[in-house]
Amino acid sequence: MPGLIEAQLSNLADIADRETDVLAGTFAGVDMVLARAILCCGNAEARPLILLMHPFVPNALAALDSFELEHTQTAKRILSFALLAQCTGVPRPEASDSAPLKPLLPARAELSAKQQRSVALLALAMHDTATARAFIDAEPATYAQPVLSLEFNLYELIRYLADALDQQRPADWIEPAWLEYLEEFPLHLASDAAEWPDLFYFARILANVRGDKVSDIADDLHARVQLLEKQG
């Protein structure tokens, strides 16, 4: 994992000199590397990459001159990077809300089911339940009581979380689903059903409901992953 961070740092050493029209594409895939580095090695390992790229987030978003599929996918990666950076204690820039995700909706069918769910979870982490539902083509659903187990049904998980946020449910409505998702996350990755940053999106959703410090999320997730590894 340190090698991946070092490779990114080397590849991006000239980021300050890059033209505005190519700046947005610079963020493609960086959030995936960042999420893996934090979970596996901790915040300190990922911080040099965050500090290098974070100042360029506003300009990268502004450089999205159209909202074709490729560009909006890039926008998702930029927003994902900004959210992950915030989970380590770096302030999220202004204008890094869910707005750049919305123009992708007409082309959602061109995304894989995994990509649709990932965008939906990111939207939920930004309090945008309507966009989250739209990406998975889900009608609003109402739940009269907490759901304790969703048994690998990630589509239903997103519907449930969206309703919990809309209904302003307390954290104990979300915590069982979070613990289940955390335990099953390696299986979701192994079956190509989730992306590495998805775990941070869900953690951010819960932190928003609890009122937890967002800056503690990265350290908390790293500690949880290490504990799960020790438990086998």
Containing domain of residue 50, as a range? 2-231
The residues, any chain, with a CB within 8 Å of residue 110's CB and separated by 6 or more, are: 69
Model confidence over 195-219: pLDDT tens digits? 999 999 999 999 999 999 999 999 9
Half-sphere exposure of 11 (CA within 13 A, CB side): 13
> Which residue in 96, 44, 45 sits closest to 75, CA to CA?
96
Domain count, the chain: 1
The percent of residues in the chain predicted with pLDDT above 70, rounded, is 95
Structural contact between residues 128 and 201, judged by C-beta atoms closer than 8 angstroms: no
The residues, any chain, with a CB within 8 Å of residue 139's CB and separated by 6 or more, are: 133
Give the containing element (helix H, strand E) for 121: helix 113-125
Residue with tokens 């739209």: 134
Question: Which of 2-6, 144-148, 221-225 shows the lowest per-residue confidence on average (mean pLDDT)?
Answer: 2-6
Structural contact between residues 116 and 131, judged by C-beta atoms closer than 8 angstroms: no
Model confidence over 116-134: pLDDT tens digits? 999 999 999 999 999 999 9
Exposure class string for 60-97: b at 16+ Cβ within 10 A, else e:
bbebbeebeeebbbbbbbbbbbbbbbbbbbbebbeebe
Distance CA 185, CA 202 (A): 11
Q: What is the pTM of this model?
A: 0.94
Half-sphere exposure of 91 (CA within 13 A, CB side): 5
The residues, any chain, with a CB within 8 Å of residue 195's CB and separated by 6 or more, are: 32, 35, 114, 115, 118
Model confidence over 213-228: pLDDT tens digits? 999 999 999 999 988 7
Distance CA 160, CA 183 (A): 18
Check whether 72 has a pLDDT greater than 80: no
Q: What is the mean pLDDT of the chain?
A: 91
